[in-house]
């Protein structure tokens, strides 16, 4: 994707210097930004959580995490819905072994989950940028991984925020969940993959993994994490 550096009007997201890092170096600082808007029902939410838990503890993902120069990454997990709702569920955690990944998965299983209205991809990106700024680890790569089943319908245009993040050197990857379930009586989203491609992902090597439905979400996120951590840009379909 062509790198763009247009800044959002009104100073929605101001560029700033990164703070000093005190807790050592990792190969990657990764924000997992997960949709919990009301278009995602309880069963879909369960499948989504299980997908992340199983993927993070999978041997292929553990091998990717421990295969880099520092043999570790840092991960933060947040949930988002409308422009007014973002929640950091698991703060920055250093993962350097299978035991670390298992403990992270158990922590996610124990976390509560809210369901809120509207879908703000721009809000997810704004909050992810704040979370990245608070990362206590030095990382040569900073990535935001956005997953969801709807287009932006709350807050500013996501491409404006995306362009600012790309200008700061952040890579944004996407995992659109494409399914045929009605959304509050409305037909399922059309063109979701293209929405993510045109308005969400960005940065050097940015890519999509498309989950065809929630049942395939676990396989999609596993492939995506391996690709992301290994720093290889590929478009997958699960």
Q: What is the pLDDT of residues 176-185, one digit of tens each?
A: 988 765 554 4
pLDDT of residue 54 exceeding 80, the answer is yes
Distance between CA atoms of 73 and 169, rounded to whole angstroms?
A: 18
How far apart CA 170 and CA 154 sit, in angstroms, is: 23
How distant is the alpha carbon of residue 67 from its chain centre? 21
37-51, 197-211, 221-235: which range is least confident on average? 221-235
Torsion sign across C-alpha atoms 213, 91, 101, 145: positive
Global confidence as pTM: 0.85
Q: Is the pLDDT of residue 116 over 90?
A: no
CATH class of 34-186+204-237: alpha beta
Q: Are 208 and 196 contacting, i.e. CB atoms less than 8 angstroms apart?
A: yes
């Amino acid at each position: 994707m062509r790198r763009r550096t247009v800044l959002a009007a009104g100073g929605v997201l101001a560029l700033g210097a990164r703070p000093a890092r005190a807790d050592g170096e990792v190969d990657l600082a990764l924000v997992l930004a997960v949709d919990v808007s009301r278009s995602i029902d309880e069963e879909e939410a369960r499948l989504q959580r299980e997908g992340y838990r199983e993927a993070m503890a999978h041997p292929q993902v553990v091998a990717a995490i421990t295969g880099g120069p520092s043999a570790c990454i840092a991960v933060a997990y947040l949930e988002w819905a409308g422009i007014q709702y973002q929640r950091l569920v698991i703060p920055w955690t250093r993962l350097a072994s299978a035991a670390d990944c298992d403990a992270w998965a158990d922590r996610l299983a124990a976390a509560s989950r809210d369901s809120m209205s509207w879908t703000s991809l721009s809000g997810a990106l704004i909050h992810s940028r704040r979370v990245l700024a608070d990362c206590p680890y030095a990382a040569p790569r900073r990535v935001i991984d956005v997953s969801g089943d709807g287009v932006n319908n709350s807050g500013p245009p996501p491409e404006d925020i995306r362009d600012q993040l790309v200008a700061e050197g952040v890579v944004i990857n996407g995992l659109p969940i494409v399914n045929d379930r009605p959304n509050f009586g409305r037909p399922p989203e059309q063109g979701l993959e293209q929405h993510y491609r045109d308005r969400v992902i960005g940065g050097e090597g940015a890519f999509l993994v498309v989950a065809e439905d929630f049942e395939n979400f676990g396989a999609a996120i596993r492939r995506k994490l391996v690709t992301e951590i290994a720093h290889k840009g590929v478009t997958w379909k699960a």
